[in-house]
Chains A and B, each alone.
Chain A
Amino acid sequence: MNQEVIRSTVVPVIYLLSTVLFIFGIKQLAKVKTARRGNAIAAVGMLLAIIGALLELGIVDYRWIAGGMAIGTVIGLLFAIRVQMTAMPEMVALFNGFGGIASALVATSVYWDLVVQRAPAGTVYQALGTDEAITVMLSILIGGITFTGSLVALFKLQGKLKKGQPILLPARHYITFGLLFASFAFGGIAVAAGASDSVVWVLALSAVALILGVLLTIPIGGADMPVVVSLLNSYSGLAASMAGFVIGNPLLIIAGAMVGAAGLILTQIMCVAMNRSLLNVLVGGFGVADGASGGGSDEYTSVTSCGPEEAAMILENAESVIIVPGYGLAVAQAQHAVRELADMLKARGTRVTYGIHPVAGRMPGHMNVLLAEADVPYEELLEMDVINSEFKNTDVVIVLGANDVVNPAAMKDPSSPIAGMPILNAHEARSVFVVKRSLSPGYAGIKNELFEYDNTMMIFGDAKKVLQGLIGEVKDL
């Protein structure tokens, strides 16, 4: 077969096959029983796509391609194998950033090759065509925003950058819109400019895109990072799609558009779970004390605390226990300890279930992944809608490192920043144990009135250590 037939027939068929595999893969990823197979199918689709791309090239100098892939594979492998289950959200953010910058680099490379190196005499739109020139600029813009935005999200998830608190610059909306306008202007000028003049404008566009990614993400609090990562995931799909327009490859356009749409839907699902609009999340500044926010004082007046011994005595007589996990569980790596405690209680005849808030942890499904790692039976994890009616008939609720998702202020205080957010009704149980390192506020940055309730007892300490203490006490009962 000659190269012409391969390019005109074989490669497009391979790309089509790859597209179909992506569609099947994503569809199966959305169902529990087929999810793992779906992921594998999508990976096969990707392998086919790469084979197709290499066939399309024919005989070229493979050294750089092979070298780049080898380096990328090793780094990707190391990241994927070494990352802790608890750090999954950070990992997704990081990979997402790499995907975004890759699309921007592809566009820049095409621009550099076709314009600066091959057609230094003409203008950019003459060398690339107007459509392609515009999509080059869009790729750089979206890819750049995705890259730095993802990195900021990563740092915020790690609790760096002011411990994940929103960082609010004065007049930030003006700055953001100004920069966005500037990026369109720079891109437009670059498209119209002569080849050698355009370089400085493309660099300016890249710089503005990178700054925009930072500025768009820093005002958003750590608790909203799942939404941001999901949205950035959508952006990286869009960036890949734009890169597809640049190189005229329908596979990139399709896969990118699907990921873009899927990311947007997930983002929407998460916003609904927090009872907030996407705009409200993106404007940022959520949970920053500005004097007027939140009812009442931020000081706690009547908090009861106890140790593991006392808690174990109450657990001894409990017939039903609901465990409400949160980010603190992930930080303390306490997922195995919690299952051990649950197993001991179950052996004593206690009914143990887990109440999973849709935004508990730092990603939707974060808690499910963690608890699954510790072999917690899947059917014991109950979603908010299912379990909320059960709290009032429950003897003991153990809140493990969760805060805002059990704050009754969301229901009772209309002036609270989290007013209207659906919460787990943990306060309705007969006794509530809140395992927490201190009384410091959660990511919403507000006081939790649950801690002051008469039926609440605080157990201060690291979630894992407290659980180990409880396990020891329950053993001695």
Chain B
Amino acid sequence: MSNVDFSDFSRLRWEHFAHDADMGIRGFGPTPAKAFEQAALAMTAVVTDVGLVQLEKEIEIELEAPKLDLLFIDWINALVFEMADKRMVFGAFRVDISNGRLKGKALGEKVSRERHAPAVEVKGATFTELVVVEERPGLWRAQCVIDV
């Protein structure tokens, strides 16, 4: 077959965690940037099935913050704004982080009630359970609770 290194994929995943009236989003990856991408997928999954989202349009996000956890909350909030402002849902993300600067892309389409049956509207990312940490060498976790 090919010489593609699939080992990264086993460290890439997202999940939800419980929080009372709202939802926790959590992403894992070999780097903070990858963990941010996965957490963004977790946010989409709160609204609709990620697999239903066509990747038709791309938007760009650029941010700067002095700490990784602030950068993460700003990333999520920037996506929340784009989802609301452009009436979109996003199904894929690309993030690069260097020296406290994030350059990101989000790919998606206009939200459709019929196809996406969106469950809730994300109001914003909160500081509740906000953590960006390297759990072990090569495995980063980024998470927070989002208000829905």
Q: Do A and B come from one complex?
A: no
Which residues in B have some Cβ–Cβ distance to A below 8 Å? none
